[in-house]
Structure formats: structure tokens, C-alpha cells
A and B are shown apart, each in its own frame.
Chain A
């Protein structure tokens, strides 16, 4: 996997955990889970952000603001952000996650789940 893509998907997953911990905290606590160290995970998020190239993190933030989820999986050649089918050449690219790629329609960063 491209190192920058690895950072983006790690960041993306971490942000999902933070979102859940903040928006669904009452439910999580009611189920018996602890949520008592949000600072730690926010610091981890910041540490990962610092490792991402400026141009990429800027684009990530803009996409996040616009769509909520700036990185989306590609499943069966479909961008799971806008549900457009990838052009054949791009979808059959054997390198796929070895390079940074974005959806030609919505612009989101793409991650091929099947890797």
C-alpha cells in the first residue's frame, strides 16, 4: 500500500472512532464501554496528520468538509462514495492501492478493499 494512503486510511478509521466516541458516547457507556481518554486519541490523530504531505492533507480536509468521508472503498469497481463505476483501466489496475488515486467523479480518495 502507498505509505500516504496507509496514513490516510489510518487517519480516517481513527476519526470514525472519535466521531463514535463523541456522538454515541451515552449509548457506548450504557452498554458498559469506557470512554474516558479522548485526549489520547485526538493526539494520535494529530500525530498521523503531521506525517501526511501538505497537499494531500489539505485535499483530505476539504473532502471531509464536503462529503464527511474523504476516503471511500472501491467494491466491485464501484466508488462507494458516489456509486460511479470506475473506468475499466483504472479498476483493473493491478497496483491499485500501491498508488494514490481519487475518483474521477467525486474526487474522494480511493481504497480497494479486496487487497
Chain B
């Protein structure tokens, strides 16, 4: 699969979007996001441990209010994208030191011969870097609207 055929909007299901994240800490946000993954409690915990460690390694907050937590994990057998939004914003140790409001979590299985994970990660980062502070992604009222806007942004990439 080539880079151009990785559809973020196609990956993101409405049930994987939380537009009202409540947590006020980095770890709390990660927990809320992971809770949307189709996994049992134990598997979610293992995933959370790895995501936290990834953040300890260095923040995935890339600035402009966006963070892209990511890791590979045995817990999932397909590439999974989860999105969340915090109205107040959370200190995520971002590069520009500003609070993160938009979170795009990506998890990939270890076995990924076509390297779709890194292609997708690059695509999300590229999209996020060009995101305006007043982009409709920050104001979408429903997961469906959010995903539709994501699809629009992808077309412009």
C-alpha cells in the first residue's frame, strides 16, 4: 500500500472519537483515549504502559495544540486510530510548550511488512503541522463531522 492510499478518515471510526475529553493530565488523556480501543481491561493497561513510556522518552506533542501519541503493540492486530479533543487543553510537554487540545492516537501491530504505520504516522504529522488554530476539527460537534473534516484535510495533502 502506498502512502497516498492510507486514508486517515477511513481508519477512524465514529466510536473511536471522543470530542469531550475530561482529563487534565497527560496520563489521564492517554487513559481516556485508550479506553476507546476495542480491548479488554488488561490489554488496555498494557497499551497504556507503553504509551506512557513513549511519552517519557519524549513528548509526542508536535505543537499547534496537537499531540500524536503512538506506539506499536502486540495488543492489536490491525492499525488503529483514535481521536480525542480537550476543550481546556492539557500540558503534554509539547515542543511549543502550549497545551495540547487535539489528540490523534495511533497504534500498530508489530507485524507490518508494508510499513503502513510509519506512512500513516507521517501523514498525520503532516496534516497536523498545517492545521489552523480555528480549524473545524476544533469545533466539530459530532464524530461524523470530525471525520468528514479529516477527509477534507486529507484531500489537500
Contact = CB atoms under 8 A, between A and B. Distances in A.
Interface in B50-65: 50, 53-54, 56-60, 62-63
B56 A33 contact: no
Nearest to B64: A32
A19 to B, nearest CB: 9
B117 to A, nearest CB: 9
B57 A37 contact: yes
A41 B57 contact: yes
Given A17-B54, A31-B62, A33-B60, A71 B118 contact: no
Given A27-B118, A32-B129, A113-B76, A17 B42 contact: no
Contact of A13 (B73, B118, B121): B73
A34 interface: yes
Contact of A31 (B43, B46, B122): B122
A40 interface: yes
B49 A20 contact: no
Interface residues of B, number: 35
B40 interface: yes
B62 A111 contact: no
B95 A34 contact: yes
- Say what secondary structure dominates the interface of chain A: mixed
Contacts of B77: 73, 75, 113
Interface stretch (A4-12, A52-60, A84-92): A4-12
Interface string B81-97: 00000000000010100
Nearest to A81: B111
Contacts of B56: 37, 40-41, 44
B49 A10 contact: yes
B129 A113 contact: no
B109 interface: yes
Contacts of A69: 110-111
Contacts of B116: none
A35 B53 contact: no
Nearest to A9: B74
5 contacts: A10-B50, A14-B53, A24-B118, A31-B122, A35-B58
Interface of A: 1, 6, 9-10, 12-14, 16-17, 20-21, 24, 27, 31-38, 40-41, 44, 69, 71-73, 75, 80, 111, 113, 115
